[in-house]
Amino acid sequence: MTHRILIVDDDLHIREVIRVALKKAGMSVTEARDGKEALTRFAADRPDLIVLDIGMPEFDGLDVCREIRKSSDVPILFLSARDDEIDRVLGLEIGGDDYVTKPFSPRELVARVNVILRRLMPRATGAKPEAGVLSRGHLSVDPEQHVATFAGAPLRLTAIEFGILRAFLTRPTAVFNREQIMSAAYQLNIQVSDRTIDSHIRNIRAKLAAANCDNVIETVHGVGFKLGRCEPQA
């Protein structure tokens, strides 16, 4: 299966570098030069993943992400020209799946794209999915179908958020430190900051709270996190 990737960046050279790297990895690529064109291309092409620059003029990458998240959970990998954790954390909090800081290694970017895509389509990699649905309380995750529900209602999760919940449900009584969560969510020895993991946990809690669950993930101070009761609020 050929994955379709939309590259959004106002720098022609950056788009060319990414295009070449992704095509070498067997992916199909379309491009957009700014935020408004990105929304048009997204609506027309429905890509499997978007590589999205944050720092574009006028309608920037954060604006594009907010607009797309109104109707779609398509994975978004942010690019940032600055080594500014505020930008990165904000991007993840509004629905991004991951980020890469410029200048970047094309090989690393392709690896991160592949990690996200594998979370969405485990069968496409030839990996054997977990047998059956994983559940605790009213929370259920079906790894093979990539579906998560709470009390029967579907949850809109990013690929990384889905991977984190799946890891918790695989070991429902275990306490996970941030390194274990990072390994479960990203694989391939990719390193991200503690604040990035905390942002994903915060997003999961917010989405479950909106579904009437305020106890999905509990903090174990000084250690990490564990799965909560996953029951509706009284």
Residues 98-132: pLDDT tens digits? Answer: 888 888 999 999 998 998 887 766 444 444 444 57
* pLDDT for residue 224: 93
Give the closest residue to 9 by CA, choosing from 27, 41, 31. Answer: 31
DSSP H/E element including 222: none
Flag whether pLDDT at 42 surpasses 70: yes
Flag whether pLDDT at 18 surpasses 90: yes
Query: What integer best gives the mean pLDDT of the chain?
Result: 87
Task: Give this prediction's pTM.
Answer: 0.69
* pLDDT for residue 26: 95
* pLDDT for residue 125: 42
* pLDDT for residue 61: 92
Domains belonging to the chain, first-starting first, are 4-124 (3.40.50.2300), 129-227 (1.10.10.10)
pLDDT tens column, 69-104 = 888 889 999 998 765 656 666 777 788 888 888 889
What letter does residue 122 receive in the DSSP assignment? G
Judging by beta carbons within 10 Å of its beta carbon (0-12, 13-18, 19+), is residue 206 exposed, middle or buried?
exposed
DSSP H/E element including 161: helix 159-170
φ, ψ for residue 175, nearest 5 deg: -100, 125
Q: Which two tokens stand for residue 22?
A: 């992704």
